Structures are given as structure tokens and as C-alpha cells.
Structure 1
Amino acid sequence: MLKKIGALALYVIIGLLLYLYGDSLVTWLNMYARDFILLTMIVATLLSLFPIIPYPIIGGIVGAAFGPALGAFVIWVGSSAASIIMFLVVRYSFQDWGNAILRNYKPLEKITVLFEKNAFFVIFLTRLIPIIPSIIVNIYSALSRVSFMNYAIASSLGKMPSMLLFAIVGNTLVTNPRDLIIILLLYILFVVIVFGCFKLWKKRVLPN
């Protein structure tokens, strides 16, 4: 019980501090991100772990500072690290409670069992679609019996395209704003293709 209370209290305290000083961190990113790559990764991790500011904005700022390739790498490290940290905190502090809930309701238990059997693909797919809240994927994966290695690899790989998009958008706004519409249309097409593949996969796994 003390472990759960301590983990929750620490999360709330850090979240409150970021809420109070989040604007200052964004200002710092705008001014000094280019000069402090490691510190920028840490800030990106914190702002992904506590999304008081939409992460695409952070990605855009970092992309404008470092360029699309290095900027994408920096925010990918931050986002991936944040998801892994949250997974570990929930897994080792709350999994016993959460897993009991997942197993006590038959419809939810069936979904969870199916999820665990196809965890790598499902996690990877959900990461490709940025409109799916990352925190839901993090917590649900941690409460289930998905292995840490499967989660970490699938989650990190799946984040690559969206992080690259955020960095490219930020860099394009600074260098050539006219290309922004083409980039967004290409990404929308990419998401539609991924969603279509998911529908086909679901029909095979879950036949009517």
C-alpha cells in the first residue's frame, strides 16, 4: 500500500510542478534547445510523461531547433522513455489491482486475453495512430501480462513515424511552410492505410 501511495504522490507532485512551470520549460526549449541536446531529451521526456502541453507542439519546437532528422530522434527518445517509465511505474505499483479488475469482468477479460496474444502488433499499431491517447496504451499494457520487452520494442518502434512527423512539421514551418499541406496529406494517407490493414487483420482474428 505504501508503495502505491508513494508512487501516486510522486507522480502528482511532479505533475503539479510541471503544470506551474511548464510555460517556462517551453520558453527554454525555444531559446536554448539547440545548445543542450541531452537536457532537451530530459525535458521532452518530462513533457511527454506529463502532457500538460500537447506533445506535437514540443515536437515542432524541437524539430525547428534541430532539423527534422535529429529533432525527430530527440523527441522520439523523450516520448519512448516517458512511455517506458509510465509502464514500469504502473506495472510494479498497481498491476495487482489492475489485473484483478481486468480478469473479474468477462467481456474485458476476453479482450485482454486477445490483446496479450497479439500484444506486439496491437501496441505497434496503436502507436502509429497519434489520435489514440498514449496514456491509455501505457496503462492498459502495464496492467495486463504483456512482457516488458514486447511492450518497449513495439511501443518505441511504433512511435517513430509520428515523432518524425512532428519534427518535420516544426522544421517545415520555419523553412518552407508551403510544403506543410503535402506532408499532412501524406501522413493522413499513411494513417488511412494503417487503419485499413488493421480492419483486415481484425476480420481474420475476429471472424463474425
Structure 2
Amino acid sequence: MQKKVSIFLFYSFIAFLIYTYQGAILSWIENATLSLIPITMTIATLMSLFPIIPYPFVGAVIGASYGLIIGGVITWFGSTAASLLMFLIVRYGYQDWGVKVLHRYKALSQVTTLFEKNAFLTILFARVIPFIPSIVINTYAALSRIRLLPYMLASALGKVPAMLLFALVGAQWMNDPFSILYILLFYALFLLVVYFLYQIWTRRTRRIET
């Protein structure tokens, strides 16, 4: 119990600091130089781990400051590192409590079993679709029996398209704001294709299992 309380208090303290100084943090990112990339990566990780400010906005600011490629890498690194940290916090700090909740309800327990059988692809597809909150994926995966390495690989790969999009929007906003509409339209079509592929995959998986 003491470990759980300590983790919660520390998490709340960092979240409070980010909330208090969010304007100063974003201003610093806007004026950051290439020599400060390691610090920016650390800040990006904290901003993703403590989403006081929506991370797509943070990614856009980073993209505007560093450009598409470097900004995309920084945004991707921050989001991926934050997902790993959240996974570890939940698994080694709250798993005993969370597992009891998952298995308290039979339907949820069955969903968890199906998830564990196809965890890699499920996480990969879930990461590609940015509308699913990252904290939900991180927590659910940490409470399941998925191993750390498959989780890391699926998360890292699945985050690439969305993180590049956030950085691209920020970079283009500085040069040609109207082109963002075409970028968002293309990404919407991309998500639609991913969704249909996911539906096909889940149907085939269910047929195999039955």
C-alpha cells in the first residue's frame, strides 16, 4: 500500500508542476535549438506521461520548432518512452489490484483472454488509431500477461504514423497552413483503411478460435 501511495503522490506532484509551468515549457520548446534535443526529448516524455496539454498539440509545437524529421523523432520518442514508463508503473505498482478488477467481471475477463492471445497486433492497430487514449492501452496491457518486449515493439511501430502527423502539422503550419487540410484528409483515409484491415483480422481470428 505504501508503494502505491508513494507512486500516486509523485505522479500528482509532477502533473502539478507541468500544469503550473505549461506555458513556459511550450515557450521553451518553441525556442529550443538542435543542441537541446536531449532535453526536449525528456520534456516530450514528461508531457506525454502527464497529458495536461493534449500531446498532439505538443507534437505540433515540436514539429514547428524542429521540422518534420527531427520533430517527428522527438515526438515519437517522447510518446513511446512515456508508454513504456506507464506500463512499468502499472505492472509493478498496481497490477495486483488491477488484475482483481479485470477478473471480477466475466465478460471483461474473456476480453482480456482474447487480447492476450493477439496482443501484438491488437496494440499495433490501437496505437495507429489516435482516438484511443494511450493511457487506456498502456494500463490494459500492463494488467494483462503480455510480455514487455512485444508490447514495446507494437507500441513503437504503431506510434510512428500519428507522431509524424503531429510533427508534420506543426511544420506545415509555419509554411503553408492550408496544406494541413490535405494532410488531415489523407490521414483520415489512412485510418479508414487501418480500421477495415483490423475488422478483417478480428473476424478471421474469431473464426479460427471458434
TM-score bin (small chain) = over 0.9
Quote the Cα distance in structure 1 between the aligned partners of 2:108 and 2:33: 44
Q: TM-score, normalised by structure 2?
A: 0.95
After superposition, what is the alpha-carbon deviation per residue over 1:129-187, rounded to whole angstroms, capped at 9, x for unaligned?
01110000011111111111111110111000000001111111111223212111110
Residue 78 (structure 1) aligned with residue 78 (structure 2): yes
**For residue 19 of structure 2, what is the amino acid of its counterpart?**
Y
Q: Is the 8 A contact 1:34 1:65 kept in 2?
A: no
Quote the Cα distance in structure 1 between the aligned partners of 2:129 and 2:65: 25
For residue 146 of structure 1, what is the aligned residue in structure 2?
A: 146
For residue 68 of structure 1, what is the aligned residue in structure 2?
A: 68
Residue 205 (structure 1) aligned with residue 205 (structure 2): yes
Give the stretch that moved more between structures: 165-174 or 196-205: 196-205
Give the stretch that moved more between structures: 24-33 or 155-164: 24-33
Give the stretch that moved more between structures: 178-187 or 65-74: 178-187
Deviation at 1:4, TM superposition (A): 1.0
**For residue 179 of structure 2, what is the amino acid of its counterpart?**
D
Quote the Cα distance in structure 1 between the aligned partners of 2:29 and 2:124: 29
For residue 99 of structure 2, what is the aligned residue in structure 1?
A: 99
Residue 89 (structure 1) aligned with residue 79 (structure 2): no
**For residue 48 of structure 1, what is the amino acid of its counterpart?**
S
Quote the Cα distance in structure 1 between the aligned partners of 2:104 and 2:58: 39
Distance 1:33 1:9, change over 3 A: farther
Quote the Cα distance in structure 1 between the aligned partners of 2:67 and 2:30: 13
Q: Is the 8 A contact 1:127 1:158 kept in 2?
A: yes
- % identity of equivalent residues: 46
Residue 43 (structure 1) aligned with residue 43 (structure 2): yes
Structure 2: which 5+ runs fail to align?
none
For residue 168 of structure 1, what is the aligned residue in structure 2?
A: 168
Q: Secondary structure of the residue that 1:52 maps to in structure 2?
A: coil
Deviation at 1:44, TM superposition (A): 0.5
Structure 1: which 5+ runs fail to align?
none
For residue 120 of structure 1, what is the aligned residue in structure 2?
A: 120
After superposition, what is the alpha-carbon deviation per residue over 1:62-117, rounded to whole angstroms, capped at 9, x for unaligned?
11111101110011000100010010001000001111221221101100000001
**For residue 58 of structure 1, what is the amino acid of its counterpart?**
V
For residue 190 of structure 1, what is the aligned residue in structure 2?
A: 190
**For residue 111 of structure 2, what is the amino acid of its counterpart?**
I
Q: Is the 8 A contact 1:4 1:93 kept in 2?
A: yes
Residue 131 (structure 1) aligned with residue 131 (structure 2): yes
Q: TM-score, normalised by structure 1?
A: 0.96
